[in-house]
Amino acid sequence: MTKLNEYMPKIILFFILTLSVYIYTYSIKFIPLDGDELFTLNIVNMNSIFDVIKIGNINDTHPPLYHILLFIFVQFAGVSETSVRLLSSIFGTLSILSIYILAKKMFSEKEGLISASVMLFIWSLIIVNQYARGYALLLFLSILTMIFLYDITDRLGQNKNIKKSLIFYVISTTLCIYTHYFGLLLIFIEFLFLFFIRFKYIKQILPVYFFIFLLYLPWIPFIHTRYIHTVYPDFIQWVRWNVFGGYENIFLLPLLCTYPFIFIIYKKISNGHSMSEFVNIYKSEIMLIVLAAVPFIFVWISDKFLFKCYNHRYIIFSIAPYYILAARGIVLIFRKFILITTATLLLLTGMSFHVIISHIQHLTGNYSDQPINALMDVKKKYGKYPDSFLLLEKANYFDYHLNNYCKEIPNSKIKIIDYTEKNSKIKIMNFITQQKPKYVWLIDSLKKEHFLILNNTHNRIYSNSYKGWDVYLFEKKQIKV
């Protein structure tokens, strides 16, 4: 019985990790790739890593590490919908393991298991960890930097050797900032935390961050000023999706609201301590609160008063501290093992229900890519109008899905519209004059001038809208004699 109790945390962790593998991989085979994922697919289909870095950088808004890793990965796994998503699923499981390690280092195995469980059942993170973009890698690397940051802080406080921790911290932070530009914000906040809490070691700290800057120098020439304008603010959306796990998930709200009470409890416990003693004793909680709250404050102020720089996906690195603080709150408030277990199981039961409902919504189209829904609409009805042409915007996701899911529509019946061309309207008019189509399908994303051109020569007999992507069917007007 004693041995079982000893190994029980490891058994629970193994179960959590195994479940994460299943949850993060079970649907990657049959949910179609969306627009951003198809952009990733185009990058990994390039000829070399040099092309991935150079051409990918021209068209993408993020540093190249994720695309480089995925390019190498598909050389062995092959290029498919499953393989391009599988790497994110792997990083998702590694994030579960990493948050367990971080919480255990800071507090105990209880906090580690609770925070890992919470992260596993967050619906928005399930999407992230099934998504062929770099957000799962960003989450994993951000937690790694926190692990080594905590090691550095702890070892400096005990006057221990920090050489190994510094090396791993430099590696993880460099990889993080080569994954996403918001990684720079994370590293800056970590520097501020280390600067204030271990100020007397500033001579050891500054060279570390200067070296990280030197490692980042090769990428600076690739940075375009347009990156500043490619992300948009959505503070409330981030909170409700990435923290609370979705609109409907009220089960997380009470849990995540517990962390402000942690310091109230600690303040009572720590009476008689000086401020420096208090900071040293509760450095874990201070670190987590700084990493959870400061990114919100910093980016929100910047977005409101300086420049637009905020998107709910990009600041994903601040959620791990929230979950660990929440886990710590459960342990401190309930204290006894049975109460802790009951509270956690109730929470996870509610979250499991939300996961099931959300997955059903995902598979029935509520969260799927709208341009693809528009294309599938045309596919279903195309057979009724065999003598029809399809006009499409020049876009990667249409190319992919036409080849893989819409073989019923012949290539000879498809006309691609390049909206960036100055003479696109003339080309449409020439197309109508030459082909004289009886029926014309048009998938249009708010480009109403093309609708008006067709409206002059054809009657609209069908229309449907998919959140800005409109499907029209036109029939050639009969000439009155």
For the chain, 481 residues long, give each residue's pLDDT as a single digit of tens.
Answer: 466 567 888 999 999 999 999 888 877 766 666 667 777 887 887 888 888 887 766 667 788 899 999 999 999 988 877 888 999 999 999 999 999 999 999 999 989 998 998 888 776 777 788 888 899 999 999 999 999 999 999 999 888 888 999 999 999 999 999 998 889 989 999 999 999 888 888 888 999 999 999 999 888 877 754 444 333 334 444 444 444 444 334 444 444 555 556 666 666 666 666 667 777 778 888 898 888 888 877 776 766 666 555 455 667 888 888 888 888 877 877 777 677 777 666 666 655 555 555 555 555 444 455 677 788 888 888 888 877 888 877 665 566 667 766 777 888 888 777 665 667 777 777 777 787 888 888 887 655 556 666 777 778 888 887 766 788 888 887 765 4
H or E, element range at 12:
helix 2-25
Q: Are residues 187 and 214 in the same domain?
A: yes
Do the domain assignments include residue 394? yes
Dig out the tokens for 94 from the structure.
């590694």
Do the domain assignments include residue 481? no
* pLDDT value of position 253: 44
Q: Are residues 184 and 275 in the same domain?
A: yes
Starting at the earlier edge strand, list the strands of the sheet with 439-444.
414-417, 388-393, 439-444, 469-476, 458-466
Q: Are residues 48 and 186 in the same domain?
A: yes
CA distance 181 to 465: 35
Last residue of a domain, one of 363, 392, 426: 363
> Side-chain half-sphere of 7: how many Cα atoms within 13 Å?
6
Last residue of a domain, one of 339, 363, 387: 363
Strands 388-393 and 414-417 turn out to be parallel
Q: Are residues 374 and 359 in the same domain?
A: no
CB of 92 within 8 A of CB of 20?
Answer: yes
* pLDDT value of position 116: 93
What is the dihedral angle through the alpha carbons of 320, 27, 62, 72, rounded to the nearest 10 degrees?
Answer: 110
Enter the pTM of the model: 0.75
φ, ψ for residue 75, nearest 5 deg: -65, -30
Q: Are residues 358 and 376 in the same domain?
A: no
Beta-ladder partners of 107: none
φ, ψ for residue 416, nearest 5 deg: -90, 130
Q: Are residues 54 and 116 in the same domain?
A: yes
Estimate the crossing angle of helix 35-44 against helix 65-77, to 10 degrees.
70
Q: Are residues 338 and 453 in the same domain?
A: no
100, with CB counted inside 10 A (0-12, 13-18, 19+), is buried
Q: Are residues 218 and 69 in the same domain?
A: yes
CA distance 320 to 303: 23
Tally the domains of the chain.
2
CA distance 204 to 330: 36
338, with CB counted inside 10 A (0-12, 13-18, 19+), is exposed
CB of 138 within 8 A of CB of 88?
Answer: no
CB of 371 within 8 A of CB of 137?
Answer: no
55, with CB counted inside 10 A (0-12, 13-18, 19+), is middle
Q: Are residues 379 and 334 in the same domain?
A: no
Query: For tokens 């036109």, what's the residue?
Result: 474
CA distance 100 to 103: 5
Q: Are residues 330 and 417 in the same domain?
A: no
Query: For tokens 């998938």, what's the residue?
Result: 443
Do the domain assignments include residue 175? yes
Do the domain assignments include residue 458? yes
Do the domain assignments include residue 255? yes
Q: Are residues 345 and 378 in the same domain?
A: no
| 343 torsion bin: left (phi>0), alpha (psi -120 to 50), beta (else) | alpha
Q: Where are the beta strands (DSSP E) in 106-191?
A: none
* pLDDT value of position 56: 67
* pLDDT value of position 379: 85
Q: Are residues 166 and 307 in the same domain?
A: yes
Do the domain assignments include residue 12? yes
Amino acid at 51: D
CB of 378 within 8 A of CB of 443?
Answer: yes
Last residue of a domain, one of 313, 329, 363: 363
Range of the domain at 136: 2-363
